[in-house]
Amino acid sequence: MTDFLTKTNCDRCGAKLTSRIMSRFNEDCICMTCEEEERKHPDYAKAVEAELAALRAGDYNYPGIGWSGKDGRLP
């Protein structure tokens, strides 16, 4: 996450970053298009919930539940 602000390209699709956001699924620095994809992902709520649960438990370095691809499902 140290290079989050200096990245020039999306970790997921490689597009040039105009604005950046941290993935809800893992530690990727992604573009707005990929962020849209994440929001539509069937496991998005699960990813957000897992992250919140980790934060509540005091785990601020939670890496996310993992990105399995836009059509991939989590185990």
Contact 25, 67 (CB under 8 A): yes
Binding status of residue 31 toward Zn ion by CB under 5 A:
yes
Binding status of residue 29 toward Zn ion by CB under 5 A:
no
Piece of 3-11, 18-26, 39-47, 57-65 that binds Zn ion (CB under 5 A): 3-11
Q: Which of 10, 29, 50, 65 binds Zn ion (CB under 5 A)?
A: 10
DSSP assignment string, 39-70: HHSTTHHHHHHHHHHHHHTT-TT---S----T
Nearest residue (CB) to Zn ion, 33 versus 52: 33
CA distance 31 to 22: 9
The residues of the shown chain that bind Zn ion, judged by CB under 5 A, are 10, 12-13, 15, 31, 34
